[in-house]
Structure 1
Amino acid sequence: MKINCDREVLTKRPGAVIFDLDNTLYDYEHPHGKALAEVRAKLGRSAGIAPARFDALYDDARKSVKADLKDNASAHSRLLYFQRMIELTGLRSDVVMALDCEQTYWRTFLSAATLFPDVEETMRLIRSLGIQMAIVTDLTAQIQFRKIVYFGLESIVDHVITSEEAGADKPAAPIFAIARRKLDLKPGAAVWMIGDDAKKDCEGAKAHLGAVTFLRRHGMAAPATADVVFDRFDEVKSLVQRFAGQ
């Protein structure tokens, strides 16, 4: 763990702790790779799309959807990616095929996703101390809710705010404004933001909530813009344990 702020800041009990979800509480890349491989194999069998062509089509479809929808929740929709991908093959909008691909993707994704070590323990400790928690996450509400239920976190966190609800992805102000309202944060209230993206999570929460920011490092050099940079959640848990008995 690397601390870039005044250590005194970390001794002030937060009124709320906000978590990002994807690639913060669990590793995104492994289940994504497994899920995409399953869809790749499915379309290879059913539509004769070769693996290399699948990868090129998926990449083009993803870029096309994001270019159209910009920074909002639907720009992350796997259903739209697969719909656009099928259309790029020269077929019409085969909604049955697109739905089948999306269901296959998320079913495989969830079956391969696991929380990082000490995530649940850290969150349960925060809850036991009476500190509010929220998950603030980009993407559409339905799949993010499914992930939270799959991980068994639905009874631990107090609030969930998605970019679909806010109308814009982080680091735009609306998603943090909704978090402030739901958590009933007063001006000057201490808030911790724990995420994996220096701009979306750390800069966004710092600008709109005045949060103390924690950046989970992806095994790479992390920018010094975050107040705290960490690798493992047991490091965060050790900081939270200081508030026991206060």
Structure 2
Amino acid sequence: MDLKYKHIFFDLDRTLWDFNKNSEASLNLLYRDYQLQSIFGSFLFFKSRFEYHNGKLWNAYYQDRIKKEVLMYRRFYLTLKEAGRDNLEMAKDLSADFIEISPLQTRTFPNTQETLQYLKEKGYQLHIITNGFNEVQSKKLANCKLDSYFTHLITSENAGANKPSKLIFEYAMQQTGAEPNNSIMVGDDLKTDIAGARSFHIDQIYFNNLNIKHNSDITYEIKDLIELKAIL
């Protein structure tokens, strides 16, 4: 059977791996182990301030305004500082533990395994293309038992560029032997995944499980991964 697409590129965080739930579980463990109640008063305050600083720093990282190593600890440093604890050493300890704990979390979105199995059996070449860090993304895939579905793990670190840059998609084509006209990108982010793929003339599938309203020009849109069966 002739397939319109031969290569399917998936984003990982918030598309297959449930970043929000896994991050919350990891932060909960840190909150308990470091007895952060005495600093923050409540887990919700700790989580909300971490997410605020983490989001701002990731935006800076995407714009090449900070280095990965700075992002890793500074998100905890700023969170602690906001709560009145100016402690760089503690921030670095929290960062190291978070990087270790986070990829051990295994929550994926509904129908992830079933959908990937279906696509693999249909003969598609499946790949990951992610802005996440090398040391955690491969562990996430392995711990969730998703690694066997994918031929290549393309990271922004190895590519030397983040999505939505054309450079990371060019690198992905080189590594996988894919071409834009036989590839499709599945992701949750309109800017990094969808616009990035579109600028490289790759068709896109927007995973919009949160029902975000938008006016973007997208090839396909789904709310559940199982819907890929009707498209591919």
- TM-score tier, shorter chain, comes to 0.7 to 0.9
Q: Distance in 1 between matches of 2:59 and 2:15?
A: 25
Could you tell me whether the CA contact under 8 Å between 1:17 and 1:133 is conserved in 2? Answer: yes
1:214 aligned partner: 205
1:90 aligned partner: 86
When the two structures are superposed, what TM-score results if normalisation uses the length of structure 1? 0.76
Residue type at the aligned position of 2:21: H
Tell me whether 1:139 sits opposite 2:132 in the alignment: yes
Deviation (angstroms), 1:206: 1.3
Residue type at the aligned position of 1:206: R
Residue 125 of structure 1 is aligned with which of 98, 102, 118? 118
1:78-227 matches, cutoff 5 A: 78-83=72-77, 85=79, 89-91=85-87, 93-94=88-89, 97-98=90-91, 100-106=93-99, 108-110=101-103, 112-186=105-179, 189-208=181-200, 210-223=201-214, 224-227=216-219
Q: How many residues get paired?
A: 224
Secondary structure (helix, strand or coil) at the match of 1:155 reads: helix
Q: Deviations over 1:193-216 (max 9, x none)?
A: 1100111111111111x2221011
Q: Distance in 2 between matches of 1:119 and 1:197?
A: 18
Residue type at the aligned position of 1:165: N
Deviation (angstroms), 1:23: 0.7
Deviation (angstroms), 1:121: 2.3
Compared with structure 1, are the counterparts of its residues 213 and 60 closer, same or farther at alpha carbon in structure 2 (3 Å cutoff)? closer
CA RMSD across the alignment: 3.1
Deviation (angstroms), 1:86: 5.4
Higher relative contact order (CA 8 A, sep 6+): 1
Q: Which has the larger radius of gyration?
A: 1
Q: Distance in 2 between matches of 1:28 and 1:63?
A: 13
Q: Deviations over 1:5-60 (max 9, x none)?
A: xxxxxx95202000000111132212222222332333435x94123674576367
Compared with structure 1, are the counterparts of its residues 24 and 60 closer, same or farther at alpha carbon in structure 2 (3 Å cutoff)? closer
Q: Deviations over 1:96-131 (max 9, x none)?
A: x44542354355544543222322222222222332
Show structure 1 runs of 5+ residues with no match: 1-10, 241-246
Could you tell me whether the CA contact under 8 Å between 1:44 and 1:50 is conserved in 2? Answer: no
When the two structures are superposed, what TM-score results if normalisation uses the length of structure 2? 0.80
Q: Distance in 2 between matches of 1:30 and 1:163?
A: 23
The percent of aligned pairs where both chains have the same amino acid is 22
Q: Deviations over 1:120-174 (max 9, x none)?
A: 2222222223321110011211111111111112221010111111223210112
Residue type at the aligned position of 1:50: F
Could you tell me whether the CA contact under 8 Å between 1:77 and 1:140 is conserved in 2? Answer: no
1:28-39 matches, cutoff 5 A: 28-39=19-30
Could you tell me whether the CA contact under 8 Å between 1:213 and 1:227 is conserved in 2? Answer: yes
2:68 aligned partner: 74
